[in-house]
Structure 1
């Protein structure tokens, strides 16, 4: 019996040390950084705290964001949607969610894009959902049509190969056009020439949490370039030459890679080595860009423009199925300071079948911590643990 007490004490000490270890890993103000990395800024997500004023954010009154107000507190930003007339119902649902949870407080304008003119019904019903100004823009042919250097015979052969590998939307020319437009064309539209920030919103997405601060001002005040909610693995068979083309580009452009990059996240092979192998060195981790809050100055930079033009001439938007999500993610991971990329953990979001559902009393309609409403194997697609491991939670 004399030995039992020290054993119990040691056991209790071991438990306490383990709890402290777990706390250090998952505490919001901590991160696991790659060796030699510059620690990112870990300011608290303001919306996660239901009481008190958000850290580092000037709280403004709703009157300063009144619709139509000149010299309002709104900064140079818009809500942005690429949407068809026939997707009206899904767009209205997404708008109602975002207006209810956020934009009715801030009244940021909506900008809708389509490759054909919007119908009167689309314009009428979308404007009825918001007090903010709505803009309806037609995409120029030169931004949408398949480029002249794409070989149609090769495209047709490539489509058949992709279909044999069960790549979704491989035979839809409009899907390839959409991926290219979202990758390197949308920010060139004349309607956005004087706009800096955007929040991309797609039809049928859901928003679950009341967000009480101006996310665009948060981006500006905290020097953030890009914000995401969900971070996934891509289908490697849809992008087999994307990474090799990227390496070719880097070999021709010495000095473009940022010193505080996220290369380890882009090339990780520990969790899903089969993805890295099939994508020829790319982990396929990417920010799911159906939600993104971004600073268009990054896309307009010489570094990104050079990168996009290289990829565009390589033809992978049509010969393969390069999506804007991996293209944006690779560019951000290589060319931007990783501390300027922010996980909006407080914005509850769903694009079927994946969720970002925070543990917050401000969230309703989703299950805390839930990633997917699909099969359990889909949890393997979550690449956020890699981001937190190599970059952190900033």
Structure 2
């Protein structure tokens, strides 16, 4: 592959920034522009049987209700912020259910993702799914990957938010959090926070090709020491069913350049957002800007037997930078 000259590399980065801007969200109703503050907690929920894990999960709104109960009881009642529950275009809106869930839970909103936020990239067809890597994973699951790996940052930023925390509808906070986590991030110059490390190698081979291509064109974008540490334990990552982040990190070159390279290569549809997000943080963020939150009890469980990321507790030696 021909190496880009500095001027060409700068032009490429400018193009990538414009591509990200295409995914900004333009509010279409007064309610969209009435969201409060700069901090938001997001869910991407399914209101029926899980499209990949099926009947082995809690179905309907019961798991989301339980998650919201624990979130409000142990955090939001003391440190309120906006909460947006997103759902895909393959779920019909249910105003009665939404109203019931909003009762007693201030600043809770529901948003459907459709159009460019819930469709396959150009050139891919749903009927060809069985030829993709890991064909057992549904189209909806792959839309979720694309959302958390790429689309969420420009969407939320266009609404005026600067920081985001992710929850899943089968994620639960079981102990009280005694401080405002968003304020902690800002006051301590942290740009990414995680709760649990994990080991996951899904799609690593294709991922490596994109990384090598990026480094060939922009070899100084990753500090040598961080690249060496990354290569020693390449499968080590962040179990991003819960994370908190300063979104500007993901919208600035060189991070935005590499994330769009993922998207354009379409490998985003045959691996996972966990690996993509972990790679970007480990390569481009100084470890002192990453926080391991270990002072609250968190549960995330999908009861199934497929390729689950392994708990990385035995590999803590690779995460000593984040203590």
Choose the corresponding residue for 2:108, options 126, 134, 138.
134
**Residue matched to 1:91:** 64
Q: Aligned partners of 2:188, 2:64: CA distance in 1, in Å?
A: 30
1:253 matches 2:202: no
RMSD: 2.7
Aligned ranges for residues 38-77 of structure 1 at < 5 Å?
76-77=38-39
Output one character per residue of 1:283-324: Cα deviation in whole Å (capped at 9) or x when no partner.
322101110111111111122221111111111123xx2111
Choose the corresponding residue for 1:115, options 85, 88, 92.
88
Q: CA deviation at 1:259?
A: 5.8
Choose the corresponding residue for 2:294, options 345, 357, 371.
345
The 1:259–1:235 alpha-carbon spacing in structure 2 relative to 1, beyond 3 Å, is: closer
Q: Aligned partners of 1:268, 1:127: CA distance in 2, in Å?
A: 46
Q: CA deviation at 1:248?
A: 1.4
SS in 2 for 1:240: helix
Output one character per residue of 1:197-224: Cα deviation in whole Å (capped at 9) or x when no partner.
1111111212121111101100110011
Contact 1:187 1:300 in 2 (8 A): yes
* Structure 2 unaligned regions, length at least 5: 1-35, 49-59
TM-score (norm 1): 0.63
Q: CA deviation at 1:114?
A: 1.7
Contact 1:102 1:210 in 2 (8 A): yes
Choose the corresponding residue for 2:283, options 331, 334, 340.
334
1:241 matches 2:206: yes
Q: CA deviation at 1:390?
A: 5.0
Contact 1:234 1:326 in 2 (8 A): yes
The 1:306–1:119 alpha-carbon spacing in structure 2 relative to 1, beyond 3 Å, is: same
1:383 matches 2:309: no
1:100 matches 2:73: yes
Which one has more relative contact order, counting CA pairs under 8 Å at least 6 apart?
2
Contact 1:263 1:333 in 2 (8 A): no
Q: Aligned partners of 1:289, 1:134: CA distance in 2, in Å?
A: 22
Q: CA deviation at 1:193?
A: 3.1
TM-score (norm 2): 0.76
Q: Aligned partners of 2:39, 2:73: CA distance in 1, in Å?
A: 19
Contact 1:92 1:126 in 2 (8 A): yes
The 1:389–1:311 alpha-carbon spacing in structure 2 relative to 1, beyond 3 Å, is: closer
SS in 2 for 1:242: helix
1:296 matches 2:252: no
Contact 1:208 1:349 in 2 (8 A): yes
Contact 1:260 1:338 in 2 (8 A): no
Choose the corresponding residue for 1:173, options 119, 128, 139.
139
1:219 matches 2:185: yes
Contact 1:183 1:324 in 2 (8 A): yes
**Residue matched to 2:18:** none
Choose the corresponding residue for 1:267, options 215, 231, 235.
231
**Residue matched to 1:150:** 124
The 1:338–1:259 alpha-carbon spacing in structure 2 relative to 1, beyond 3 Å, is: farther
The 1:293–1:143 alpha-carbon spacing in structure 2 relative to 1, beyond 3 Å, is: same
SS in 1 for 2:103: helix
**Residue matched to 1:166:** none
Output one character per residue of 1:10-34: Cα deviation in whole Å (capped at 9) or x when no partner.
xxxxxxxxxxxxxxxxxxxxxxxxx
The 1:374–1:296 alpha-carbon spacing in structure 2 relative to 1, beyond 3 Å, is: same
* Structure 1 unaligned regions, length at least 5: 1-73, 164-168, 270-282, 354-372
